[in-house]
C-alpha cells in the first residue's frame, strides 16, 4: 500500500441525507453519522501517510438549504473541531481551509481560525476543509487579484508571454498544495459540483455508490488501490506502448 500513495486526495462527501431517509431518520442524523466518517478517514489518511486531504464540507450553494440544516452543519463543524483539536494537534494534522470563510457564522469562524492557528506547525497531514467554497468564485478571486496587481504596476512572475500555470496557481486558495491525484465522490453522483475545477484537471476520479456515512476505511483503501492500478498518462501514450518507443 505504501506504493504510490496519492499526494493529495479530495473527497466530495455525499449522501448523508439519503442515508438518513432510508433509515427513516431526520437528515441531521445523516450529517452526524457523516462526522464519524470524517474522523475515520482522517485517521486512515494519517496511517497511510497521505500528505493532503481535502474535504468538501460546505459549498457556496449549500446556503440554499433550510436554515436549520445550515446551522446544524456549522454546529457539527464546531463540534468536530472542539472534540478533535487536541488529537489533531498531537497527531501532526494541520488544519487549513479553502473558500470564503469570512462569511461563516462568527462562532464557527473563530473555531476554524483557532484550529488553523493551533496546528500551523504540523506537517504530517494537511486537512484542508472546503467551507463556503465554490471553484468558479475561487478562479474569479484569483483573476481579480491578478488584475488588481497588474493595474498597480505588475504581476510578479508574469513575463512577456503572459501568466504561467504555476504563477496563476499561486493565486488560488490551494496555493502551495499539490493538485489532487485522486478525487473520491460518494453516493454515486457523477458531478463535480463546482469543486476544484482548476486543480482536478489530471486527477483520477473514483465514484462509489456508498453513502458517506457508510464509507469506511476499507472503502477508502479500495479507492486508493484502484488509483494505484490506473495508468496515468497526462496526455501521453500508455506505458506499454511507451516501452516499445
**Which residues are part of the catalytic machinery?**
14, 62
Contact segment (CB under 6 A) with ligand FPP among 46-54, 75-83, 118-126, 229-237 equals 75-83
Judged by beta carbon, residue 77 or residue 183, the one nearer ligand FPP is 77
Judged by beta carbon, residue 189 or residue 241, the one nearer ligand FPP is 189
Select from 9, 10, 38, 41 the one that contacts ligand FPP (CB under 6 A): 38
Considering the rule CB under 6 A, would residue 88 count as an interface residue with ligand FPP?
Answer: no
Rounded least distance, CB 81 to ligand FPP, Å: 8
**What does residue 224 show for φ and ψ, rounded to 5 degrees?**
-70, -40
Select from 6, 10, 11, 15 the one that contacts ligand FPP (CB under 6 A): 15
Considering the rule CB under 6 A, would residue 112 count as an interface residue with ligand FPP?
Answer: no
**Residues 129-158 interacting with ligand FPP (rule: CB under 6 A):** 129
Select from 16, 54, 119, 174 the one that contacts ligand FPP (CB under 6 A): 16
Considering the rule CB under 6 A, would residue 62 count as an interface residue with ligand FPP?
Answer: yes
Select from 76, 112, 177, 196 the one that contacts ligand FPP (CB under 6 A): 76
What DSSP assignment string belongs to the chain? Answer: --TT--SEEEEE---HHHHHHHTT--HHHHHHHHHHHHHHHHHHHHHHT-SEEEEEEEEGGGGGS-HHHHHHHHHHHHHHHHHHHHHHHHTTEEEEEES-GGGS-HHHHHHHHHHHHHTTT--SEEEEEEEEE-HHHHHHHHHHHHHHHHHTT--TT-BTTB--HHHHHTTSTTTTSPPPSEEEE-TT----TT-STTTTTT-EEEE-SS-GGG--HHHHHHHHHHHHHS---TTS--HHHHHT-
Select from 41, 50, 55, 88 the one that contacts ligand FPP (CB under 6 A): 55
Q: Residues interacting with ligand FPP, by CB under 6 A? A: 13-18, 31, 34-35, 38, 55, 57, 62, 73, 76-77, 80, 129
Amino acid at each position: 500500500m505504501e506504493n504510490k500513495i496519492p499526494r493529495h486526495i479530495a473527497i466530495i462527501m455525499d449522501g448523508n441525507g439519503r442515508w438518513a431517509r432510508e433509515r427513516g431518520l431526520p437528515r441531521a442524523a445523516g450529517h452526524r453519522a457523516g462526522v464519524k466518517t470524517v474522523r475515520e478517514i482522517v485517521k486512515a489518511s494519517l496511517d497511510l501517510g497521505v500528505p493532503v486531504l481535502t474535504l468538501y464540507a460546505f459549498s457556496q450553494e449549500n446556503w440554499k438549504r433550510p436554515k436549520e440544516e445550515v446551522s446544524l452543519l456549522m454546529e457539527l463543524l464546531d463540534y468536530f473541531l472542539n472534540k478533535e483539536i487536541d488529537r489533531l494537534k498531537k497527531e501532526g494534522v494541520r488544519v487549513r481551509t479553502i473558500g470564503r470563510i469570512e462569511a461563516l457564522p462568527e462562532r464557527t469562524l473563530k473555531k476554524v481560525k483557532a484550529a488553523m492557528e493551533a496546528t500551523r506547525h504540523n506537517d504530517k497531514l494537511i486537512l484542508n476543509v472546503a467551507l463556503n467554497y465554490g471553484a468558479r468564485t475561487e478562479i474569479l478571486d484569483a483573476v481579480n487579484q491578478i488584475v488588481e496587481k497588474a493595474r498597480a504596476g505588475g504581476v510578479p512572475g508574469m513575463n512577456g508571454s503572459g501568466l504561467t500555470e504555476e504563477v496563476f496557481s499561486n493565486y488560488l486558495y490551494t496555493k502551495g498544495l499539490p493538485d489532487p491525484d485522486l478525487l473520491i465522490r460518494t453516493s454515486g453522483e457523477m458531478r463535480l459540483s463546482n469543486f476544484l475545477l482548476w486543480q482536478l484537471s489530471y486527477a483520477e476520479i473514483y465514484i462509489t455508490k456508498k453513502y458517506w456515512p457508510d464509507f469506511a476505511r476499507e472503502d477508502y483503501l479500495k479507492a486508493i488501490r484502484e488509483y494505484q492500478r490506473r495508468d496515468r498518462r497526462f496526455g501521453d501514450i500508455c506505458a506499454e506502448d511507451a516501452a516499445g518507443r
